[in-house]
């Protein structure tokens, strides 16, 4: 009876933690979504600002990279809007980050070249740098949110039959120092046992991981 109560309490804890984590994840995805929209809007503005560089050799390059940045930010917005796959999101974010830094380098190169007479930049362009800084900050914030989501993952472990010599009959885990138990709840010697099968879940990772077994 006590064992059944313990299992029920563990199940209730698991359901409660899962519900809280799901709500927290939804908030994190919503934040990423808002940041992606900000990046998309800033990229749209930068595309319009490239008109200042129309008399430089890299003008078409700037327009193409700005449009790519806009498309990538839009894609991340679409993925996070439906709380898409984290690995997919992280890969998209890496591509967005690479595109951004490449675009930033091109802007810096154009400004430097124009200062020495290679091409001409029309008007003041300090606001372009501010837009780039804003995009960079938002990309870093999204990275932080993705890392939080990764640490918050709940890993549900399958049942594992502990067998001699550190092996595992099911589920892929290795457990040294345990006698193995058969499907009938008895160990290999025919004595009743309690450690043969079970399952649990863990929250977080590394030193911050919390594990529940029952």
Residue written as token pair 């640490």: 151
pLDDT at residue 56 tops 50: yes
How does residue 107 score in pLDDT terms, banded at 50, 70 and 90?
very high
Residue range 2-151 in CATH 1.20.120: yes
Q: Which residue has the tokens 């029952």?
A: 214
Tens digit of each residue's pLDDT (9 = 90 or more) over 165-194: 455 544 444 444 433 334 444 344 444 444
pLDDT at position 84: 61
Short-list 176, 155, 156, 143, CA closest to 76: 143
Confidence of residue 197 (pLDDT cuts 50, 70, 90): very low
What's the token pair of residue 138? 């938002």
Q: Phi, psi at residue 57, to the nearest 5°?
A: -60, -25
Say whether pTM exceeds 0.85.
Answer: no
The string of pLDDT tens digits covering residues 121-154 is 998 899 999 999 999 999 999 999 999 988 877 5
H or E element in which residue 210 lies: strand 210-213
**What's the mean pLDDT when you consider all of the chain?**
74
- Within its chain, how far is the Cα of 134 from the centroid? 21
Query: Would you tell me the crossing angle of helices 86-115 and 126-151 to the nearest 10 degrees?
Result: 160
Q: Is 186 helix (H, G, I), strand (E, B) or coil?
A: strand
Domain ranges within the chain, ordered by starting residue: 2-151
């Amino acid at each position: 009876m006590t064992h059944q109560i313990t299992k029920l309490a563990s199940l209730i804890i698991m359901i409660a933690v899962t519900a809280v984590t799901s709500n927290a994840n939804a908030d994190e995805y919503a934040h990423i979504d808002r940041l992606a929209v900000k990046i998309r809007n800033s990229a749209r503005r930068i595309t319009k600002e490239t008109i200042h560089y129309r008399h430089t050799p890299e003008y078409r390059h700037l327009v193409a990279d700005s449009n790519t940045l806009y498309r990538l930010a839009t894609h991340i917005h679409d993925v996070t809007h439906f709380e898409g796959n984290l690995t997919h999101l992280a890969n998209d974010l890496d591509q967005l980050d690479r595109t951004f830094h490449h675009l930033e380098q091109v802007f810096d190169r154009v400004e430097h070249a124009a200062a020495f007479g290679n091409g001409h930049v029309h008007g003041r362009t300090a606001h372009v740098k501010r837009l780039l800084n804003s995009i960079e900050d938002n990309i870093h914030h999204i990275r932080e949110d993705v890392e939080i989501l990764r640490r918050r993952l709940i890993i549900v472990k399958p049942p594992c039959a502990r067998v001699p010599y550190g092996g595992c009959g099911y589920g892929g885990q290795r457990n040294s120092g345990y006698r193995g138990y058969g499907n009938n709840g008895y160990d290999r010697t025919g004595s009743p046992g309690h450690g043969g099968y079970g399952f649990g879940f863990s929250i977080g990772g590394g030193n911050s991981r919390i594990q529940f077994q029952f």
